[in-house]
Structure 1
Amino acid sequence: MLLAIDAGNTNIVFALVDVEGGREIRARWRIATDPRRTADEYAVWLSQLLALEGYQRSDVTAVIVGTVVPRALHNLQVLASKYFRTDAVIAGQGAAQWGFALDVEEPNNLGADRALNVIAAHANHPGDLIIIDFGTATTFDVVDFRGAYKGGVIAPGINLSLDALVSAAAKLPRIAIEAPRDASVIGRNTVDQMHIGIFWGYVSMIEGLLARTKAEIGRPARVIATGGLAVLFEKHTDVFDIVEHDLTIQGLAMLWERGHGSG
């Protein structure tokens, strides 16, 4: 089986993917990103989690890594070679080049997570696409009907927005990221007003940017939401056509298949 590793700024997701069985994700685990974490630490943690799911290290026959944290890469490569007896395939390099047109001014600066989302979204859905990934940052990526990446938007993630607000305003309390109790946008106390500003303000940002993006594309475009925080918004707006929580992992599996598997 394939161990697909998506190393983001906040968390690293490890997913056990059965590439012989239609890319079924058999298990997934998440750990806080820390570039100082060693291969030995990853191995102890992963070995225990694999055993809990009924697997062992020998079941992993290939490893692919997509990362936006360069400092984390070395220890993940050591993990693959020392504990899984295989060289990690690095998304975007060698046989795992992206394989789609990057119609932007700085193609080399596209993050691995966004490129992997493009691969999976275009493979799964026809036509023009807008991919929204809710992570540390919230990114909007535009893919045309031919699969070319046309550009997008980078906005602060909702947690970053809340952190900035609380750190800059001494009297404001730290609140949980959650939907307000009702649809009212007139808060009657400080905490409610913060929930409204953060949550409905963020929903309005999403809806507004999508409306502008669709108008600029000028053709019908499907909106695909992904990322750990997509679930927070999907019940409170109707602008998402599809929610795919494992889009980046799908992209890693597809990229590995393209250069190393049967796909």
Structure 2
Amino acid sequence: MSKNQIGQQPLVTLLSDFGDRDIYVGIMKGVIAQINPRLTVVDLTHQISPQDIAAARFNLMNAYLYFPVGTVHIAVVDPGVGSKRRAIAVEFAQGFLIGPDNGIFSGVLSQSPAIVAVELTNLNYWRTPQPSKTFHGRDIFAPVGANLASGVPLKQLGQEIDPATLVKLDIDECKQTNTSVVGCIQYIDRFGNLVSNIPASYVQGKTWCVQAAGLSIPGCETYSDVKVGEILALVGSHGWVEIAINSGNAHSQLQLGQKTLQVVLS
């Protein structure tokens, strides 16, 4: 593997649902440091709700572009750990993805398709040939990621597989008509903002509103375009249309039971 554009070894990022109360994240970093203490490890987040693969997918999809080409992204939200689900590594244009084959990478790969994918079958790059049934992050993903970032070729990590067979999460794409775009809520952030799967490009330069659960929500530029406590729709920093409440929590206050929403354009 070549070094990145500034001549340093590739970065390694970690994303998980492990939280910060337990030792799991620290152990993964220790395993990486045992293999190569010179690697820089960046925590994307470890506050994904337990087993929430869709939230992990969203966060990784909206983070990878902010890292140098060649970055190794290790993502572990893995309710199927210890089962027959595959452990994989994937090369794409921006770098590499390592984790379970459960759809966690489907957001990234919908924007930047896989170039090569392998199932992690080469035990020489695992921490142990007898990994824990409950902690593949420690025993498989962290050591494989460290070896990959240290120069081990991707294809040496296991058996090459068809990228078309990688698991995809069942998240519908938004659909456009002449006057509207129909989408769904794909993520709820810490502030309670309801983030849709409708990209900013559909509403740029237009007057628009969001219709959801009988509400008509005006499209705005900033939170301050409405009074404190009022509902609005806007494009968040991630580039997706979202529903929010100025200084409030849209998720808890609106109680939107349905995830489908419609952006009406004019």
Same fold (TM over 0.5): no
Query: Which structure carries more relative contact order (alpha carbon 8 Å, separation 6+)?
Result: 1
Please report the TM-score for the alignment, with normalisation by the length of structure 1: 0.29
Flag the structure with higher helix content.
1
